[in-house]
Structure 1
């Protein structure tokens, strides 16, 4: 079956303006002043950097997309490269009992690694109610993805650290049947559409789903719409998981790879903008002083309300995946006719991505061959591509977006 869909933005091969293309016809701005990760946000607005979020209009066109996506060709990862110098982590023996397998970092409290990771849904819309979020600076991994209307939402994976507050917590989507399976995590959410909820609870993660009535959730009492007032104390969520008899160390069937040494090759990538249609403009700016990317959204620094610090990441992954409308689930009826359906983000098999680390960009293929596998990355020859040690932020992008990413070398 073929359907017609309006598309404004396509696969990552045409998505990124590479180094030469980026510098032609693109008006560059001076780099904003970075907020160091250990410095509280200044109290005055005048000290804030100003970035004007702009969008380039793209004509809307009608195209035909097959209802069943064409699978990517299979790549078999056969490592042939010489090991990199410095610290290199690639399997359970390398991580031991004190190193976080999701970040490669030695953790301050190794006993935290004996608990199950939490995948918590965090709101990003509308900005006046959702931002600044609480707790994201202490997440090991964050996935930003579109919902059914191109607004974005986060699934944040918490494992090694225990922030005092996480939120606002919102409802789950179909992608949340996959992410907890990948990281052997429990899912914490405010709820979900009844059919989506049925699919989540009927899957292999069903026994480790936490909803708003569980221990650890609470309402803030803030003067805002009720649906934006749910927060979570993760210590309480881990208690709830224990009550479900589901709290245990994660069991991984694949391992993330990390290396401290700079990777060979790559092109400079000092400033990266990611446009989620016309909803939000995300910007990452590399700071050579600490080797991290700093995040902005719609011209404002992304701040963790728990500590006033700007969100940073050691790795930013621009990951393209097939997004299909699931017409078996109707989210909204209008005059007896369905007008809104959920998006199934197909984060299985393999696809294209760009890894940003150490101020450079590296084209990679992401792999997830089995349901219990987490994301791993290989180059064009099938060699594993390691992440830098530290947290990672995934910008999950629809395959039908056209040029949503701009990468500038300086």
Structure 2
């Protein structure tokens, strides 16, 4: 019998237009805590410097949800440096988050959108969408889960991943997008990189897109209408200075708002916290760019997770229901 439970998905939008300018009246900052015990005071930590960038000229009516200009990324609402990149499919890439030695990962700071979601045994993984800019290296790439189907289908993306358990692989291979799945192989753009004896699987997004085209798969601009973007925050909102999300004793994180840059900075767990009283964090950076992981918007979605079955090791396999109405 399937057992529904409710948990959260973190959706981080790296380069969206919202939140780049302060409203006329700034509310008192608060903390958003999801779902965890009251967090300890924030420690003093040494963090990389994130350089503020100039706010681009932006129409007051914003962009979207349709009729985006040809040089505006419909996943971010911002003009791109190279509009030719928008004449292709988005690229979805599965990225590891545990064990902790996989951090910092490569390429996350260059993604348009990153989803973090629960997998099993108290862990999470990322699925990152690259569209408006390329990354020379993304990884470490890991295995797929049922949830990834929603992202591939919703964004009409090609999908690079490491493997999948048999029931999850069957769902991927039997989907209408099966020809857009990219695994490691003789002619694959996915390669091994072994700087510290970890034998990581990585990919260059430009090579990944070219590979899709070489396979004869339609790789032109897709209809990605649906999102709306405005520069000014929505009236009546409440400013949030910290967001805490706890998945388990092994995976917990927080996002700190940086008023200088208008971005949320990611801090991740550094030790297991079994009793909820010893959370310790380090700022997450990008191993490719050496820049902090910083997002203009962080969206938290509460969705139903159903136990679909168990794998050969007894781990629960979850099916995340990602359609219909819900709380965010």
Q: Which structure has more RCO (C-alpha within 8 Å, separation ≥ 6)?
A: 2
Which residue matches 1:183?
Answer: 155
| 2:2–2:307 CA contact under 8 A, matched in 1 | no
Q: Distance in 2 between matches of 1:25 and 1:149?
A: 23
Gapped regions of structure 2 (runs ≥ 5): 9-28, 53-58, 270-280
Of 288, 294, 297, 1:315 maps to: 297
Count of residue correspondences? 286
Of 53, 58, 64, 1:90 maps to: 64
Which residue matches 2:195?
Answer: 222
Of Structure 1 and Structure 2, which has the larger fraction of its residues in strand?
Answer: 1
After TM superposition, the structure 1 = structure 2 runs for residues 185-204 of structure 1, keeping only pairs within 5 Å, are: 185-204=157-176
TM-score (norm 1): 0.65
RMSD (CA atoms): 2.5
Q: CA deviation at 1:310?
A: 0.4
Which residue matches 2:41?
Answer: 28
Structure 1: which 4+ aligned runs deviate by more than 6 Å?
none
Q: CA deviation at 1:26?
A: 6.1
Q: CA deviation at 1:278?
A: 1.1
| 1:271–1:285 CA contact under 8 A, matched in 2 | yes
| 2:31–2:242 CA contact under 8 A, matched in 1 | no
Task: Give the match's secondary structure for 2:163.
Answer: coil
Gapped regions of structure 1 (runs ≥ 5): 13-17, 40-84, 334-338, 354-410
| 1:332–1:341 CA contact under 8 A, matched in 2 | no
After TM superposition, the structure 1 = structure 2 runs for residues 5-404 of structure 1, keeping only pairs within 5 Å, are: 10=6, 27-29=40-42, 35-38=48-51, 86-93=60-67, 95-128=68-101, 130-213=102-185, 214-226=187-199, 229-246=200-217, 247-252=219-224, 254-298=225-269, 299-327=281-309, 330-333=310-313, 339-353=314-328
| 2:283–2:292 CA contact under 8 A, matched in 1 | yes
Cα distance per residue 1:48-83 (max 9 Å; x no partner): xxxxxxxxxxxxxxxxxxxxxxxxxxxxxxxxxxxx
Structure number with bigger Rg: 1
Cα distance per residue 1:177-229 (max 9 Å; x no partner): 11111111011011111221111010122111000114321111334344xx1
Which residue matches 2:13?
Answer: none
Q: Distance in 2 between matches of 1:198 and 1:310?
A: 37
TM-score (norm 2): 0.80
| 2:31–2:240 CA contact under 8 A, matched in 1 | no
Task: Give the match's secondary structure for 1:283.
Answer: strand
Cα distance per residue 1:108-152 (max 9 Å; x no partner): 000000011100000111011x11100000000000011121211
Q: Against the structure 1 CA distance between its residues 280 and 307, is the aligned structure 2 distance closer, same or farther, given a 3 Å change threshold?
A: same
Q: Against the structure 1 CA distance between its residues 242 and 304, is the aligned structure 2 distance closer, same or farther, given a 3 Å change threshold?
A: same
